[in-house]
Structure 1
Amino acid sequence: MKKIICLLILLTAGIGFSQNDDTTGELQGVVFNTSDESVMGNVHVLNLNQVIGTITDDKGQFNITARVNDTLYLSYIGFKAVKVRVTNDMIKYQNTKIGLTELAFALEEVVVRPYQLTGYLDIDSKNIPINQSARYSISGLNMGYEAGSRNPNAFSNILGSIFNPADFLHNLFGKKPQQMRKLRKMQEDDKIRSLLSSKFDRETLMALLQVDKLDIEEILRNCNYSDGFIETANDLQILDAISNCYEEYKVLNRNK
């Protein structure tokens, strides 16, 4: 009888530890400026593991679903982005305080002679050149292409896709299959899409997909997007382009 009671105690303790290690809940926190300890509103908070996001209110507070060992990614324009690992006490005691440090920028003279900008929107909008490259598809091919003066290799890319449709992306997408599966979740989260639509630095995308900037550029070039698009698109447009490219890759790889 004593042996049975001891066994039940051990099983109960084991279940308790297991649940503790996989604690899931609503995490509450406050984001502040480390320079003056003032609270910060409109800070973007992403759970990189759950692929969900939220924004701090005017009191610097946020709520987000999280598990122990999830990673939160916080970013705000002009401040250094930070990653925070979720711990048991953060979920249990709530109101975790997270500080962001302001970046120091040395502003220098900017020369805009190539476009001859005046500072007046109505005039400058007419002087900035428009990328004339067009995105199109060819019957019988599942891959899209971008042609124009910025992408003179479009024809050779088409031939390469005809003769070897999936191998040129296998080494890119094959490295991060689990991360690439997050693309659909990222596209479905309105707060993440809103965040990415205002960013051009690729930092959030790199954190979510765990790839570097060169990997992102290489993916897009191999999917036949022009240098003009890669240089000027916002992060949401880049996300959609990578997602479309990945879906095309899966179709081609499945039929190979």
Structure 2
Amino acid sequence: MKRYLILLTVLLISTVGFSQEEADRVLGVVINASTDKPLESVNIVNLNQVIGTTTNSKGEFSISAKVNDTLHFSYLGFKSIKVRVTNDWLKFGSSNIELTELALALEEVVVNQLKLTGYLEVDIAQVPAVNDNYRYSISGLEGTGYEASKESGLTKMVGSLFNPADFLHRMFGKKPNELKKLKKMKEDDEIRNLLASRFDREMLTVLLQVDRVDLDEIVSQCNYSKGFIQTANDLQILDAISECYEEYKVLSRGRNRKI
């Protein structure tokens, strides 16, 4: 009798475990709201678990999620949306997610024409300066170390060791969960591939829960040049912030030991 009870208990535990495993994934299909056609390669990120996936050729997706997790859907030319995972979604299976197209608009571009005088010293002053700052240890960039210019490399390097990371900590000091997300984002290949192809900072601001202005300020305070901030993809920005904070932790441990 005891053997039967043990066997029954094992079967029940296995069944419950299997059900919970199945319930930890949500299924769905992403479609164009105006045409009802499926959208392929839509980027989907679970903001709570910091994992990502994309839709297949039929617009279908599957991602690990729990009740009350928030999924972020983004696709070029369409308005990004957030969707909360509910008990009904987990219970009843696949759900249709509709994305709405954005109106295309061209931004006005202003071209400033140089007015040359014929005097070399005057004309050279009108030419925009070439940014010779460089920064290493960032995805897509070579080398390792802090960004610095040829003229003030030592000054910027010394300053970067004490000021920028402190600013980063002040920004995230009350948001420890966002700091943990930095590491998770770097470890998830799907998210890294997604960020490497983006330059709009939308996914970073959503994941880290900061404004675009604050995000740019963080990178600037970490002694990255304006040119880097303007041209880097989202993955490079993520690596820049992550590296800055890791160096902050090293310096903080050193300070605590001295104290």
The aligned residue for residue 253 of structure 1 is 252
Aligned residues: 218
| Paired residue secondary structure (1:29) | strand
SS at match of 1:67: coil
Structure 1 residues 195 and 24: CA distance shift in structure 2, 3 A: same
Q: 1:49, 1:230 → 2: CA distance?
A: 27
Residue 43 of structure 2 is aligned to residue 44 of structure 1:
yes
Check whether the contact 2:81–2:99 (CA below 8 A) recurs between aligned residues. Answer: yes
SS at match of 1:147: coil
- Kindly report which structure 2 residues correspond to 1:45-84, keeping only aligned pairs within 5 A, or say none: 45-84=44-83
Matching residue of 2:199: 200
Q: Does 1:103 align with 2:115?
A: no
Q: Percent identity?
A: 59
Give unmatched runs, 5+ long, in structure 1.
1-18, 115-128, 138-142
Q: Secondary structure, in 3 states, of the residue corresponding to 2:77?
A: coil
Instruction: Quote the offset at 1:66 in angstroms.
Output: 0.3
Shift of 1:85: 0.6
Which structure shows the bigger proportion of residues in strand conformation? 1
Superposed displacement of residue 25, structure 1: 1.2
Deviations 1:159-199 (A, max 9, x none): 54566685443312313221111111111111111111110
Give the Cα–Cα distance (whole angstroms) in 2 for the partners of residues 113 and 31 of structure 1.
44
Q: Is the 8 A contact 1:165 1:252 kept in 2?
A: no
Q: Which amino acid aligns with 1:134?
A: Y
Distance 1:212 1:163 in 2: 24
Instruction: Give the structure-2-normalised TM-score.
Output: 0.74
- 2:224 is the alignment partner of 1:225: yes
Name 1:147's counterpart in structure 2. 148
CA RMSD of aligned residues (A): 3.1
Alignment check: 8 A CA contact 2:164 2:222 kept: no
Query: What are the residue-to-residue correspondences of 1:12-23 with 2, within 5 Å?
Result: none
Aligned residues of 1:51 and 1:186 also touching (Cα < 8 A): yes
Structure 2, unmatched stretches of 5+, are 1-18, 114-128, 138-143
Q: Which residue pairs with 2:132 in the alignment? A: 132
Deviation at 1:201, TM superposition (A): 0.3
Separation of aligned partners in 2, 1:245 and 1:41? 35
Structure 1 223/195 Cα, relative in aligned 2: closer, same or farther at 3 Å?
same
| Alpha-carbon spacing, 1:219–1:80, altered in 2? closer, same or farther (3 Å) | same
TM-score, length-normalised on structure 1? 0.75
1:245 to partner: Cα distance: 0.8
Amino acid at match of 1:94: G
- Report the Cα offset of residue 107 of structure 1: 2.6
